[in-house]
Structure 1
Amino acid sequence: MSELPPLNSLRAFDAAGRRLSFRSAADELGVTQGAVAQQVRQLEALLGVVLFERVPKGLAFTPVGRSYHNRIAGVFADLRAATAELKPEPNKVLISVTPTFAAKWLIPNLPDFTAAHPDIDLRIMATERVSSFHSDGIDLAVRQGSPPFGASLDVTLIFKQSLIAVAAPKFADKGDALLDPDKLARMPKVHDTHDQWPSYLSYLGVQEQSPRHLHLSQTSLAVDAAIAGQGLALVSRFLVAQDLEAGRLVEVGAAWDAGGSDFYVLMPRTAKNNVSVVKVMTWLTARSAEVA
């Protein structure tokens, strides 16, 4: 059969199959029970199969009816979801961030945002992939790197990339704020995908002498491993501010301003008329200045 069945018949079948009742399907669709039953009968006649068994308490699928409904229901669910995404939601803001930024900075600071803007539905897309403003439908993005990021974007610096070496308290020397560089070079290291340890040790004027290395895919995992006592991690200071304050980590290596990898918040210039997006952008820049 090259042509699709009538849409109204498919809608009636979808609703009746989800509710297993012509009466309930009619209430959902805003038509009469007889109209739903007629649409389903027409669909059965067109397909040449029986989709439902009529039972005293309503409807029961035939095997072929159940199989067909599983496919049809999925299609209608996709259509409803696609339509919902197109509907304007003035208070919804979707922000794209890395999993580390989400876990170590954004989520811990969300109570402040919620208190300031309880009316905004902030949604977080945490991914290592560089999301697209157009195809992914994001409103804001926090990205690490160097401008330019695109002529159509407003770009605001929120954090400089100031790296520090951190570790569980057991690695710190008593009475000394920082480890001697030679001693630091001999300590076990935790690496993330950025792998800045070689450049950092070169900045300190020492060579790597650690007997043990742990390699992880995300900075947040490296931080957690450092808290668990697996070695020294190299991380942006703002990402571990709360862990340092709580005593879960201590700073054991001097700060290093690694150029070219700062953190920026990006907003399409077309979003300037969206009040909710501008509010989130303003909060991000203000909050980052407070806790930097």
Structure 2
Amino acid sequence: MGRAPTRLPPLNALRAFEASSRHLNFRLAAKELGVTQGAVAQHVRKLEAELGLRLFDRLPRSLALTVPGRSYAAQLRRAFELMHEATVALRPEPDRVTISVTPTFASKWLLPRLPQFGQAHPDIELRILATESLSNFQSDGADIAVRQGQPPFGPGLSADLLFEQEVIAVCSPALLPAGDPFLPIHSLDAATFLNDAHDLWPEFFDRVLARHVPASARQLRFSQTSLAIDAAAAGQGLAVASRFLVEGELTSRRLVQALPGAMRGTMDAHVVTLRKPRNPRATAHVRQWLLSYRPQGADAAR
């Protein structure tokens, strides 16, 4: 007849001992496990009683593993790692797609729409790489990017037009005179102009208003377009930005179009992908989701 299997100690006691062996402190082990310090200490005492061994030496302010405790802790740690690995093997990793965008596009356009993406594609984990510098699809691990400019963007890349750049002036509705849809032109002499790194105000004045930026105007400069947009919404002055970046603020009336007319820019937004993506299925889903926001009739560029 076979030998009867040895009854194992309770799992909670083993977890309490293993956590305590790493922290050498019941309080820290309790914090990790989400239980009280007294519960951890009691689990360890009961485990020692059941095994008939002392696993810890109780010092004034910490714990020290005994020789049997040190050996037992190392073997238990490996056992817990094996259980974790076995569980992970049963649960397939979600598809991961890294999307490279500018910080302004991330905060003003992408982040507000992420809940819709999560609902439509719960099996795809998006990683957002937000940087002003141009991400490299190889060294940065980007799978898809939203880039502004004119294609081609590089060998081995495909580009689809997402939004044409239409630059408008915006401000807080609190700055508009009562009953007026736009700011009066003469009020611009005393206005504050919010600039970003693109410095589009001089070109906007020249092409849209057929005049120069008033010499008396106050200027504020920001390193990112999102900061200029937020300052405009806070009533600190006028900003110029691509319409697609301020669409949410215009809809919510945090911002209004400050001046009539718009400037057609050269920095159109494109969805850029590798011609041979690393994760074709998931990347295709993200690409299709992004392009679903493209205005009707927009032409795709390759």
Question: Does structure 1 residue 100 correspond to structure 2 residue 109?
Answer: no
**1:183-262 alignment runs, 5 A limit:** 183-184=187-188, 186-203=190-207, 204-209=209-214, 210-262=216-268
How many residues in Structure 1 have an aligned counterpart in Structure 2? 218
Counterpart of 2:158 in structure 1 is: 154
Distance in 2 between residues matched to 1:90 and 1:115, nearest whole Å: 14
Aligned pair partner of 1:145 in 117, 131, 149 = 149
SS of the residue 1:270 aligns to: coil
Larger proportion of helix: 1
State the alpha-carbon separation in 1 of the partners of residues 112 and 251 from structure 2.
13
Say whether the 8 Å CA contact 1:184–1:253 is kept in structure 2: no
In 2, Cα distance between equivalents of 1:259 and 1:168: 23
Check if 1:178 corresponds to 2:177.
no
Deviations 1:114-143 (A, max 9, x none): 121111101100111111101111100111
Q: Is the 8 A contact 1:154 1:266 kept in 2?
A: yes
CA–CA distance in structure 1, aligned partners of residues 258 and 125 of structure 2:
39
Going from structure 1 to structure 2, the CA distance change for 1:273 and 1:97 (only over 3 Å counts) comes to: closer
The gaps in structure 1 that reach 5 residues or longer are: 1-17, 22-52, 60-87
RMSD over equivalenced CA pairs, Å: 2.7
Give structure 2 stretches of 5+ with no counterpart: 1-20, 25-63, 71-91
Deviation of 1:206 (Å): 1.8
Distance 2:166 2:65 in 1: 70
* 2:158 aligned partner, one-letter code: D
Change (3 A) 1:221 1:20: closer
Q: How does 1:69-88 map to 2 (within 5 A)?
A: none
Partners of 2:276 and 2:93 lie apart in 1 by 16
Deviation digits for residues 157-215 of structure 1, max 9, x if unmatched? 11111111111112113222222334335411111100100000111112212431110
Whether 1:268 and 2:274 are equivalent positions in the alignment is: yes
TM (norm. structure 1) is 0.68
Letter in 2 for 1:206: R
Residues 148 and 255 of structure 1: is their aligned pair in 2 closer, same or farther, counting only changes over 3 Å? farther
Kept after mapping to 1: 8 A contact 2:99/2:144? yes
Question: For residue 9 of structure 2, what is the aligned residue in structure 1?
Answer: none
| Cα pair distance change 1:116/1:159, threshold 3 Å | same
Question: The residue matched to 1:271 in structure 2 has which SS?
Answer: coil
1:112 aligns with 2:112: no
1:185–1:274 CA distance, 2 compared to 1 (3 A): farther
Q: Deviations 1:12-42 (Å, cap 9, x if unpaired)? A: xxxxxx9489xxxxxxxxxxxxxxxxxxxxx
Residues in 1 aligned to 2:175 and 2:23: alpha-carbon distance in whole angstroms: 65
Q: What is the distance in 1 between the residues matched to 2:280 and 2:160? A: 17
Please name the residue that 1:128 is paired with.
132
The percentage of aligned residue pairs carrying the same residue is 47
Q: Measure how far apart 1:284 and its partner are.
A: 0.2
In structure 2, distance between residues paired with 1:185 and 1:152: 49
Amino acid at match of 2:141: G
State the 1:144 CA deviation: 0.9
1:103–1:198 Cα change, 3 Å: same
Task: Specify whether residues 211 and 57 from structure 1 end up closer, same or farther in structure 2 by C-alpha distance, changes over 3 A only.
Answer: farther
Is the CA contact (8 Å cut-off) linking 1:20 and 1:58 kept in structure 2?
A: no
Contact kept, 8 Å, 2:194 with 2:219, in 1: the verdict is yes
- What secondary structure sits across from 1:283 in the alignment? helix
| Contact 2:150/2:266 (<8 A) preserved | yes
Cα offset for 1:242?
Answer: 1.5
SS at match of 1:158: strand
